[in-house]
Every structure is written in structure tokens, then in C-alpha cells.
Amino acid sequence: MCTVNTFFRSKLKLTGILAINALVGVSLTVLPARPAADDNPMLFVSERRDVHLRSTHVHENFFKVSQDDKSTFGFHAKTGDRLFNEADFYARIDEGRKRAPSAPIVVFVHGCCVSFGEQLYQGFQLKKAIDAAVSESSLTADGKDEHKGDGQPVTIAYDWAAPFSYATSLVNAGGAQSRFDTFMRRLANRYGAENIVIVAHSLGTVLTQNYIERLEDKKLKPYAAIIFSRADLDRQSFADCLPDLKEHSARLLVLSSDNDPNIYFSSLLRKLGVDFFQAVVLPAQVTRPLIKKIGSTEKSDEVTSEQSTGSQNKTPVAGDEAPSVSEEQRHKGLTRRLGQVKVAREFGTSVEVYDMSSFRIGHGIPYEFIGDLLFNNGRHYQLKKDADSVVIVRRARP
């Protein structure tokens, strides 16, 4: 009874307050909730043939993934998606650059076996982590916030149409290479490579490395940063391409772990040899030359990794030369993956190598760490270098 009486007394009191305000001419206005801002949504480029807008979100035929000769452009935001032409796509980037002239453009390149929706999700999670990191970006030496008032960076997800299959993802990655190269060159020529960060995950690192290796524009400045997350790259091709990667990036970062099941499975398949790899993973229409491109235990005169083609003829950068290796060591290097810490630590003195094993996220992407590393120098995490110059990363204690 006491509770009921209290309730009615509260209602009567509120009614009285509203009546008094009405009499004296004071209005009580309930402000509507602000909608989610779409002035800086995540942009995307897709090579999927069947990308369409249904209601407020973009969809694709997940069970029939095929690549198109023309790219589809659009944006993804909490309030909905949009599709538009290439001119509008670059106009959106221009607008973002005006709001944040000193913030880089971030290009996310996904890995294998993800749907269009999954790669949108991954890219958007990265964007949110980057936006949060920029919002509390570290102060400069004179106490000024170097990003204050600049707004958020432009984030672009590049979808190279990976189906839910490792085998066909390998095929599509090769088919997407030339279009990816064209897009990245156009972006760099328009905005400057020094204003672009590339975040490549898993098999997406293959496209990125191939692109860098084929760059011939000597006038192009180095990219602000290139991040290889859980790289499904063979050790030998990375060693061969290292001079090019160092030349074309101001920072080269490798995020690896010793508890990534996907990377270990990739390495195991190649160790078991071509015949087993073809029988278990690759469909009948995928020919033997493709297997040679991704690395196997065949003789080196029969096997030439697509990533390392032509790189041996280039003049290496001083201090970055890969040590001379025997044929047996080269074969072994084709099976070992850069996403493994035991492989990545071999390059600890040449590039920034981070051991993410303590995160225990399998083949996942450490979004928050990437954002914090780019814009806050990783100050929200515990970073400790070991004897091989590998940085051991641990989550900061609360």
C-alpha cells in the first residue's frame, strides 16, 4: 500500500509541475535522440558480381561468388548502406580529407573465406577502433593534440571477392590482383602514398605484397605504414620482397602468433606436398601451375612463387638482404608462414614484429591494438622486446 501511495503522490507532483509550467509559459521540450552520424561512414570497393542494395543494406549471393570486371563502390554505416559510382566514391574521400587533412586513409584488405557481409563487419570494426584511437590520440611533446579537430580518418574496405573456400579464395586472389593494383596506384597517385596506411589480413597480405613488389613508380613516396596481420605468406617470398617492402613503406609491421590454427593448417598443407594439397583442398579445375605459385615441396626449377617472381633480379636495399640459402632451405621457406611467430622473429631486426599470442583470438584481427599502435604508439598495451627484437604484446591491466 505504501508503495502504491508513493507512486500516485509522485504522479500528482509531476502533474502539478507541468501545470505550473504551462501557466507561467515555460515549455518543457523533450529533445529527440540524435541519429548516428553518417558524415564519415566506412567506404568500400567490391569485386563481387552480385552486389545489390536491398532495403537499407547491401547484399550479395554468398553461395555463388563470382568476380566482376567492374568494381562496385559504396559505403557502410550503422544507419544503412549506399551504392554509388566511382566519381562519388572519390568525392567522398575528398570530403573526408578536407575534414581530416593530417589523418591517413586506411585501406583494409581482408583474408580468405569471408562473405561480403563479414568483410564489411571486419572493416567496420577496424574503423571503429581507429576512430576511438584517434579520439584519444597521444599528445605531442609540446602538449598539443596532433589530431584535435581533424576529424576521423577515411577507412576503405577492399573486397576482392573471397568465397567460403580456401581453394577458390586462392584462385580469386590471383584474379583480383590486377584490379587491386590499379585501385591502389590510383589512390596513391591521387592522395599520396605517404597519406595511406594498408592493413592486410591473412591471404590479403599476398595481394598487398604482390602489389608492392610490382611497383615501378620511383617518384611514389613510401606508404605511411603497411601492416601484415596473421600473414598467410610463405617465408621465402617475404624475404625476397623485403627490400621492396622496406623501400615503399615508412613502417612495416608484422602481427603474428604461435596459436593461430588457420596459419598452422596452411603450413601443414604445403608440408604434406602438392598431391595431398590438391586432393584435400583444391577442386579439379584448379591446375598444377596454381599450386606452384602458392608454394610447395617441389623442386625450385618447377616451383616459382608468384609473390617472388622477378624479385631476385632487383637490387636489394643495404641491410635488408635475405641471407643466401640452400635449395633445401628455400623449399622449407615456401611452406613456413609469416603468420607464425617462429618464422616472423627471423625478421625482428629488419621490421616491427609483434607477438600477439597472449590475445588468444585464433585467426582473428586485433582491431583495437592496430588502432592504438597506429595513433597512440601502443601506449594502452604492455609492450616488451625480447632478445630477437620481437615485441611481446599483452593487454594492459585495468
Question: Of the ranges 69-83, 224-238, 314-328, 348-362, which one carries the lowest mean pLDDT score?
Answer: 314-328
Checking if the pLDDT of 305 tops 80, the result is no
Would you state the cell numbers that stand for residue 82, as one nine-digit string? 549506399
Would you state the cell numbers that stand for residue 337, as one nine-digit string? 608462414
pLDDT tens-digit profile of 367-398? 999 999 999 999 999 999 999 999 999 997 65
Question: Which amino acid would we find at residue 117?
Answer: G
Question: Which amino acid would we find at residue 132?
Answer: A
Exposed/middle/buried for 210, CB within 10 Å: 0-12, 13-18, 19+? buried
Q: Which of 1-10, 80-89, 192-201, 317-326 has the highest mean pLDDT?
A: 192-201
Distance CA 288, CA 308 (A): 18
Question: Of the ranges 91-100, 105-114, 296-305, 308-317, which one carries the lowest mean pLDDT score?
Answer: 296-305
What pLDDT is attached to residue 154? 96
Checking if the pLDDT of 333 tops 90, the result is no
Q: Which residues lie below 8 Å from residue 382, measured CB to CB, with a gap of 6+?
A: 393, 394, 395, 396, 397
Rounded to an integer, the average pLDDT of 180-192 is 96
Exposed/middle/buried for 159, CB within 10 Å: 0-12, 13-18, 19+? buried
- What's 173-239 look like in SS3? HHHHHHHHHHHHHHHHHHHCHHHEEEEEECCHHHHHHHHHHCCCCCCCCCECEEEEECCCCEHHHHH
What pLDDT is attached to residue 67? 61
Please determine, looking at this structure, whether the domain spanning 42-260+339-395 carries the CATH number 3.40.50.
yes
Distance CA 287, CA 282 (A): 9
Rounded to an integer, the average pLDDT of 59-88 is 79
Distance CA 232, CA 226 (A): 15
Q: Which residue has the higher pLDDT, 194 or 146?
A: 194
Measured from the Cβ of residue 102, the count of other Cβ atoms closer than 10 Å reads 12
What pLDDT is attached to residue 70? 81
What pLDDT is attached to residue 304? 37
Rounded to an integer, the average pLDDT of 293-302 is 39
Angle at 107 between CA 97 and CA 394, to 5 degrees: 110
User: What crossing angle do the helices spanning 235-247 and 327-335 adopt, rounded to 10°?
Assistant: 80
Task: Give me the residues paired with residue 73 across strands.
Answer: 45, 84
Checking if the pLDDT of 186 tops 90, the result is yes
Checking if the pLDDT of 5 tops 80, the result is no
What pLDDT is attached to residue 398? 58
pTM higher than 0.75 for the full model? yes
Show me where the domains of the chain are located: 42-260+339-395
What pLDDT is attached to residue 279? 53
Would you state the cell numbers that stand for residue 130, as one nine-digit string? 581507429
DSSP letter string, 384-395:
EE-TTSPEEEEE
- Listed in sequence order, the DSSP H helices in the chain are 2-23, 86-99, 116-135, 166-191, 204-213, 235-247, 261-271, 274-280, 288-294, 327-335, 341-344, 367-376
CA pseudo-torsion sign 264, 270, 276, 279: positive
Q: Which residue has the higher pLDDT, 85 or 276?
A: 85
Span between the terminal Cα atoms of the chain, in Å: 46
Checking if the pLDDT of 183 tops 80, the result is yes
